[in-house]
Structure 1
């Protein structure tokens, strides 16, 4: 009763996802990645990462991982650094150690306390809107003003 209190805070990503592709902690990749399966990035990627829109692919950026480019995938989990825009067709998760310098388009989002975002978060109604190039911050602001959200 008066003993140590147990923390009920669980990490967002408790997935037992199997990664067939891993970019190791000491690896550095320059160029675009076109994915056909889920990938875990513990090293550095300089270039865009893109998964097919009709595939359920996870991009996991580990605590030591860095991406300098845009990331487009069904599900994106960030524990490291991203300098670029994120387009999550289903869900994006920012863990406490995450630093994102760019805009995030998402359908569903979870953010742990301590995550840092230097950019905009744009929720889209459907996954195909997440990849529309003309869905930018100005369009989102106009949409919010038209619906009476901005008073």
Structure 2
């Protein structure tokens, strides 16, 4: 189940939700999404697409997360489903 080598994470970020931005509503994306602000709603990769979500240290997500890759360092209130890779960083 756990190997010695982590899969290489897609590092390209296509969209940024800035620290002073608050979104109320669901988000569907493909590629990479970084959240530095607040999202109140579900965050999901587009169906059939790989999606990398990065939740930064001061970010807040209130809702369900469904992606292929997740890197969490902020606050998430809700279930997280990562089909390939999940990383919990120190501030998660």
TM-score normalised according to structure 2 size:
0.85
Among 7, 26, 33, the alignment partner of 2:27 is 33
Give the equivalent residue in structure 1 for 2:45: 51
2:61 is paired with a residue whose SS is: strand
Over aligned residues, Cα RMSD in angstroms? 1.9
> CA offset at residue 36 of structure 1?
2.1
C-alpha contact (below 8 Å) 1:22/1:41 kept by paired residues: yes
Give the equivalent residue in structure 2 for 1:74: 68
> CA offset at residue 17 of structure 1?
1.4
Show CA shifts across 1:20-79 (max 9, x none): 200001100000001122100000000000113532210000001110000000001100
Q: Which has the higher strand share?
A: 2
Q: Which has the higher helix share?
A: 1
Q: For CA contacts below 8 A with separation 6 or more, give which structure has more relative contact order.
A: 2
Computing the radius of gyration from Cα coordinates, the structure with the larger value is: 1
Gaps of 5+ in 2: 1-5
Give the equivalent residue in structure 1 for 2:3: none
TM-score normalised according to structure 1 size:
0.53
Q: How many equivalent residue pairs?
A: 86
Gaps of 5+ in 1: 1-11, 99-151
2:31 is paired with a residue whose SS is: coil
Q: Is 1:96 aligned to 2:90, yes or no?
A: yes
CA distance in 1, matches of 2:9, 2:44: 21
Which of structure 1's runs of 4+ aligned residues deviate more than 4 A? none
C-alpha contact (below 8 Å) 1:53/1:73 kept by paired residues: no
CA distance in 2, matches of 1:94, 1:19: 18
